[in-house]
Structure 1
Amino acid sequence: MSGSFRGEVRKLLLHPYPKRARDQNPSREGFPIRPPLNNEPRTADEEFASDTLRRMNEVLARIQELEDALDDPSQIWPRLRGAWKRAEDEADPRMSEIVRQAREISPVLKDLEKRIRRVLRRTRELTPLDRVQEMDRASMLWLSRQPGRTIAERAGPAQRILSTVRYENFDTLENRVFHSYVRLAALVAREWQREHRQAHGSDRFRLVDTLRLRCRAIACDLEALGVGLAEPGTTPNYVLMQDRGYRTVRQNWVRLLRRERILDDLWAWQAQTWTDFAVLAIVLAIDELDEARPIAQSPIVWRQEAFKGRWFDQDRPLAVFWLEETGRIVEVQARPEQPGPLLTLARAHVSLRVTDPTRTELPRRIAVWTPHAMQRMDIQVGGEDAASRLSEIGQVASGEIMRDGLILTPAQGDPQHLVASRGKAHVDVIALDASGVSLALGMEALREFIRRDIWR
């Protein structure tokens, strides 16, 4: 974020989390590294990395639910709120790519399992006379060079001659892609199940488990048939493009491969993803107010792949609400291109702008900070520091008033809500997660903040 204060340009830079144990520019050590697929944690560090990945996937799931809600632009927030309500129940596991595939690809796998494609490959070998079916030019030349006047004499004591023999071969490109897919799908399904052990009795869990077991069985069969593995980026042949079953398998394989690349990028830019999650949470909290009426909303453009942790783009402000009983207009603004002097000093990427159209007083600006960390931050210290900062900013002459703030940070399994004050400045600190009870408590605290602070 780049802004200016009294002619001086001030920038706020965000560094990605390292993807390797020792990343440079800047040099960082001690960060957990994203655990690979099918890696059961054995040490405390691996357990911490696994928990971090699980929480990242939960945040990602809440944001990806926006994609389904965008199907009906007039009902975006009610539909997204319904999806988040379901996420508050840990026994109802999150939607993901492997869940979608488990629903759709089972009939395809069952069909391909019955008709695994094979080809007949020709080779030359010594064959008993009574079993010879085909001879080519090389076999005829070999036979002509053998001693004897008749074929039986040329066959020698063993009565064998060189002939063309056809053998079934299953090691084709389409089967190698099939083999690579079922192996990868089984690993991804196992990872999903490990993250959702508490949902063991749910339909989605059973669906994914069925896919995992079927993929493992097919992988064993293909390995027994001598089928190898395809490399990522393999150019598809005619069968992979034209056969419906193999084409579907290849498309799902590519999606899972893309998912691994996306996870690497998301791991590095988790702070960006968390900011988007916090923005959506604020919009949902305002939309739930009985008096709130959405009067404007910027277009939301969903990306097929995340870019530096971001799945969607939007104009500013993201949403504008009219509070009928309170008589105020609330704008939700995220990542402003040209932040004002107060936001520049506050170093906040998100803010709420509250105005009263019936009065001539200055509009109020509520700074929203969305700090992300892999370990739980000290929210008491963070709240006091933020309140102190707002108290200093309150002395700056501006066309807005900024006395209130909000901090939304990951709870790491320990949800909490507290208020810090310094003079006229007040800051609410809410630690929440993206699923389960922690999400429910965090959203309730956020609704409480919205109801109280809009009146202030």
Structure 2
Amino acid sequence: MSRLVRPWAGRFLDEGTAFGPGDSLLSEITGPLPKDQEFVLLMQGALQGQGKALCLHPYPKWEAALRPDRGGFPVRPRTGQEPKNDSEEIASQALGRMNEVLARVQELQEALDEPSETWPRLRAAWTRAQDEEDPRMAEIVRQARDLLPVVRNLEKRIRRVLRRHRELTPLDRVQEMDRASMVWLSRQPGKTVAERAGANQRILATVRQEDFNTLENRVFHSYLRLAADVAREWVRQHPNAQASNRYRAVDSYRKVCLSLARMLVGQSVGLAGPGATPNYVLMQDKGYRLVYDGWIKLLQRQKIEDDLWAWQAQAWTDFSVLAIVLALDELEESELVAQSPILWRDEAYTGRWFEQDRPLAVFWLRETGRVVEVQARPEAPGPLLTLARAHVALRITDPNRGDLPRRVAVWTPHAMQRFDLEQSAEDSLERVKQIQRFSSHEVLRNGLILAPAHGVSEAITKSHDNLRVNAIALGASGQTLADGLDALRAFARSEIYRGVT
């Protein structure tokens, strides 16, 4: 296993050197796949009869991890936790970027409701995301909208039970006595009940008191605490959206949840554990059932985030592929002639929310007469993509001419630190130069890098003779998303119409 700093790198990490937060956590494997390493297979091809595989390793859940060695990484922040130092601030910013990428990818799920309008609907959602004053949809936003009246209603009718216990009670208030009370009374001095009650005229009797510490209220309390933490985290990640309805709704819901949680503490209601088995009330009472369902969804969100944190690079690749499809779909003469079925998962698996066949989309340029395929994680990448170590590509074919099909290698590297985009473009151009020495039934002369912007959008082009690499740093929301999509549209036009007179 040869560990790579970047997919286009000409050299590998030295033995004994750990991956760092500025690395892309990629490895190239020659021969059989190892069984003692954490990785997912991105692409598997062959070069001169020898099998080669491109693998991605997860970000560690802690600062360091083994198999392979990884060190110095930020730790995923706990839900609702405010950053207390520079390291936690870096982790909080990384979590915010991850959630924005996930929001863009998850908007595909709603767009799939109308298969014939998938890409226009997704484009409309991404256009809204470019306005930072219109924050992303999230589970806490839905709950702030749907569960606020439910929570308010439960506040008025919070369930209580009457529990029996024994205490010294005035004679005129005694209503019930059990065996232990009668034994106590029989042992007191005196012949009559009044004499045995003593000077205070009190005897040990069974009384009933209201008790709010039931399972359903403990679940309610746990939900309120978790919802307040998630809402605080969402609000912190959208400081520019304070004038939006979503921001006001979530912030208001946070305050309501905190207020009700304090009320439950005053009534001695404890907290339920995540594995609590629902009782009759939680299953049959509509209000408590909705709260329980909301609690489970937020708990699952935390579990899912652990997995998504580790496999952010996978989500980034899916986001990049969707951005490419949108850029091609916007060409005036483009017509979507084929699209692979997209299977949406209930839960992300190794950072991926959907599966699709290859290619994802095929466009026909009516006037130019070219066919453009968008390929992601190809099953048969061919020698050129195997050499390029690019698991995303464009394949451009001109059926009216006898030219060889040409590919554009698309690299979607992800790291916890921002790339030096200019240096990356120069290095990847060197990789493209090396590929020209290899004879093949296809042509690969151009490349595209899509890297996370980390708050600063940028676009760079490096060329040599008839070779070219475009490098674009884009974000998943706000101005960095708008600038990145503009740069991607410009690249698509220049590449698709290359050689057209």
- Short-chain TM bin: over 0.9
Q: What's 1:207 paired with?
A: 249
Residue in structure 2 matching 1:14, options 56, 75, 82: 56
Match of residue 314, structure 2, among 268, 272, 278: 272
C-alpha deviation, 1:13, in angstroms = 1.8
- What is the aligned-residue RMSD (CA, Å)? 1.2
Residue 255 of structure 1, CA deviation = 0.8
Match among 216, 219, 224 for residue 266 of structure 2 = 224
SS in 2 for 1:12: strand
1:40 & 1:351 partners in 2: Cα distance? 40
Q: Equivalent of 1:281, from 323, 326, 332?
A: 323
Equivalent of 1:297, from 316, 336, 339? 339
Code of the residue aligned with 1:356 in structure 2: it is D
TM-superposed CA distance for 1:30, in Å, is 1.6
Unaligned runs of 5+ in 2: 1-42
Deviation at 1:194, TM superposition (A): 0.5
Q: Does 1:4 align with 2:56?
A: no
**1:132 is aligned to 2:174:** yes
Question: In 1, distance between residues paired with 2:360 and 2:56?
Answer: 22
The structure 2 residue matched to 1:71, chosen from 66, 88, 113, is 113
Superposed, 1:10-409 pairs within 5 Å as 10-409=52-451
Per-residue deviation, 1:155? 1.8
- What secondary structure is seen at the aligned counterpart in 1 of 2:64? coil
Q: Alpha-carbon deviation of 1:22?
A: 2.2
Structure-2 separation of matches of 1:424 and 1:328: 20
Match of 1:445 in 2: 487
Amino acid at match of 2:442: E
State the partner residue of 2:497.
455
- 1:13 match: secondary structure: strand
Q: Is the 8 A contact 1:143 1:154 kept in 2?
A: yes
CA distance in 2, matches of 1:413, 1:170: 48
Partner of 1:427: 469
Of 222-231 and 138-147, more deviation after overlay is shown by 138-147
Higher mean C-alpha deviation, range 113-122 or range 11-20:
11-20
CA contact (8 A) 2:81 2:229 kept: no
Q: Helix, strand or coil: the match of 2:449?
A: strand
1:397: Cα distance to partner?
1.7
1:213 positional shift: 0.7
Aligned residues: 456
Give the SS at the match of 2:224.
helix
Moved more, 353-362 or 83-92: 353-362
User: Structure 1: how far apart are the matches of 2:479 and 2:373?
Assistant: 28
CA shift, 1:48, in A, is 1.6
Whole-angstrom distance in 2 between the partners of 1:163 and 1:338: 82
TM-fit CA distance, 1:92: 0.7
TM-score between both structures, scaled by the size of structure 2: 0.89
> 2:36 matched to which residue of 1?
none
1:101 positional shift: 0.7
Q: In structure 1, what is the Cα distance between the partners aligned to 2:152 and 2:488?
A: 48
Q: Cα distance, 1:433 vs. partner?
A: 0.6
Query: 1:32: Cα distance to partner?
Result: 1.2
Give the conservation status (yes or no) of the 8 Å contact 1:388–1:422. Answer: no
Query: 2:208 aligns to what SS in structure 1?
Result: strand
Q: What letter corresponds to residue 466 of structure 2 in structure 1? A: K
Identify the range of structure 1 (352-361 vs 2-11) with the bigger mean alpha-carbon deviation: 352-361
**Which string of whole-angstrom CA distances, capped at 9 and with x for unpartnered residues, describes residues 309-366 of structure 1?**
1111111111111111211111111001221111111100101111112222211111
Q: Distance in 2 between matches of 1:65 and 1:282?
A: 16
Which segment drifts farther, 169-178 or 416-425? 416-425
Q: Secondary structure, in 3 states, of the residue corresponding to 2:66?
A: coil
Q: Report what 2:28 is aligned to.
A: none
Amino acid at match of 2:435: I
Paired position in structure 1 for 2:19 = none
- C-alpha distance in structure 2 between counterparts of 1:287 and 1:325, whole Å: 15
Query: How far is 1:268 from its partner?
Result: 1.0
The alpha carbon displacement at 1:424 in A equals 2.2
CA distance in 2, matches of 1:351, 1:307: 23
Query: Whole-Å Cα distance in 2 between the matches of residues 171 and 455 of structure 1?
Result: 70
Q: Quick check: 1:106–1:211 contact (8 Å CA) kept in 2?
A: yes
Displacement after TM superposition at 1:369 (Å): 0.4
Distance 1:211 1:303 in 2: 29
Which residue of the partner structure matches residue 22 of structure 2?
A: none
> Offset at 1:254?
0.8
Q: How far apart are residue 452 of structure 1 and its match?
A: 1.0
Give the conservation status (yes or no) of the 8 Å contact 1:391–1:424: no
Q: Deviations over 1:436-455 (max 9, x none)?
A: 11111110110111111012
Could you tell me the TM-score, scaled by structure 1's length? 0.98
What secondary structure does 2:302 align onto? helix
